[in-house]
Amino acid sequence: MKKTLSTMIMLVLAITLVLSGCGGDKKKEAEKVVSDETGKGFKIGMVTDVGGVNDKSFNQSAWEALQRVTAETSAETKFLESKGEADMEPNLNSFVREGFNLTWGIGFLFTDALTKLAAENPDAKLAVIDAVVQAPNVASVVFAEHEGSFLVGVVAALTTKTDKIGFVGGMDIPVIKRFEKGFVAGVKAVKPDINVNVVYTGAFDKPDQGKSAAATMYNSGIDIIFHASGGTGNGVFNEASDRKKNGENVWVIGVDKDQSIEFGHEVTLTSMVKGVETAVHKVSKDLIAGKWAGGTVVELGLKDNAVGLAETSTKNVTPEILKQVEEYKTKIVNGEIKVPAE
Say what the pLDDT of residue 34 is.
Answer: 64
Residue 32's pLDDT band (cuts 50, 70, 90): low
- Residue 328: HSE in the Cβ half-sphere, 13 Å Cα cutoff: 28
| CA 325 – CA 133 distance, rounded (Å) | 33
The pLDDT value recorded for residue 15 is: 53
pLDDT of 180 over the 80 cut: yes
Mean pLDDT of 180-188: 98
Question: If pLDDT is split at 50, 70 and 90, which confidence band does 89 have?
Answer: very high
Q: Are 92 and 124 in contact (CB under 8 A)?
A: no
With 60 as the cut, is the pLDDT of residue 45 above it?
Answer: yes
Task: Give yes or no for a contact between 105 and 126, defined as CB atoms under 8 angstroms apart.
Answer: yes
- pLDDT confidence of residue 29: 46
Model confidence pLDDT, tens digit, residues 217-249: 999 999 999 999 999 999 999 999 999 999 999
| pLDDT above 70 coverage of the chain, percent | 90
Residue 7: predicted pLDDT: 46
pLDDT in tens, 51-83: 899 888 889 999 999 999 999 999 999 999 999
Per residue in 144-159, pLDDT (tens digit) is 999 999 999 999 999 9
The residues with which 308 forms a beta bridge, in sequence order, are 273
Please give the pLDDT value at position 66: 97
Burial of 29 (C-beta count, 10 Å sphere; 0-12/13-18/19+): exposed
Structural domains present in the chain:
5-143+275-304 (3.40.50.2300), 145-273+310-333 (3.40.50.2300)
- 142 has which bridge partners? 299
β-sheet with 43-47: strand ranges across: 76-80, 43-47, 102-106, 126-129, 138-143, 297-300
Confidence band of 28 (pLDDT split at 50, 70, 90): very low
Q: What is the pLDDT of residues 277-308, one digit of tens each?
A: 989 999 999 999 999 989 999 888 999 889 99
